[in-house]
Amino acid sequence: MSTRLAWTIPALVLAALTTSCSSSSNNTTAPAPVPGPNFSVAFPGKGTLAVPGTSNKIVFNDVGSWGYRCVPHGGSGMIGTINVLAGPPVDSALVRVGYDGTNTDVLRFFPDAVTIHAGGYVRWINVSQMTVHTASRP
């Protein structure tokens, strides 16, 4: 009789576990993307590292991670990310357009990822001789 009890208890525990857990879902709708700031700024003024061209500044109040790109050069890898954290301090970040940390007139944002707090801003400055760059989201 103790053998029958030894087999019955684990079977009851397993039955209780499997009936109380469910992994099925009838939800066929993907979650909605998190909305974020939309922006598009252009850099019509040529510049250099010593004398930057066009400068644009945008304040970010929404917390999240926001990707952006240069419209004509996004396919060439000219993309960036702005990470916005909650709370103070209000701060800023500087992104050089057309720079890779060493050379100008390259299809890059430098740095390509920045982190600020909500209420802070990102400022982009054109340090290349090109006037067709943008910083755009989405």
Per the CB < 8 A criterion, the answer to whether 47 and 54 are in contact is yes
As a whole number, the mean pLDDT across the chain is 81
pLDDT given at position 37: 85
Confidence of residue 79 (pLDDT cuts 50, 70, 90): very high
Kindly calculate the radius of gyration of the chain based on its CA atoms and give it in whole angstroms. Answer: 26
23 vs 33 pLDDT, higher one: 33
Positive or negative, the CA dihedral 47, 48, 51, 56 is positive
CA dihedral sign of residues 40, 44, 46, 50:
negative
Rounded distance between C-alpha atoms, residue 93 and residue 32, angstroms = 29
Q: For residues 134 and 36, what is the distance between their CA atoms, to the nearest angstrom?
A: 18
Report whether pLDDT(7) > 60.
no
CA distance 110 to 92: 14
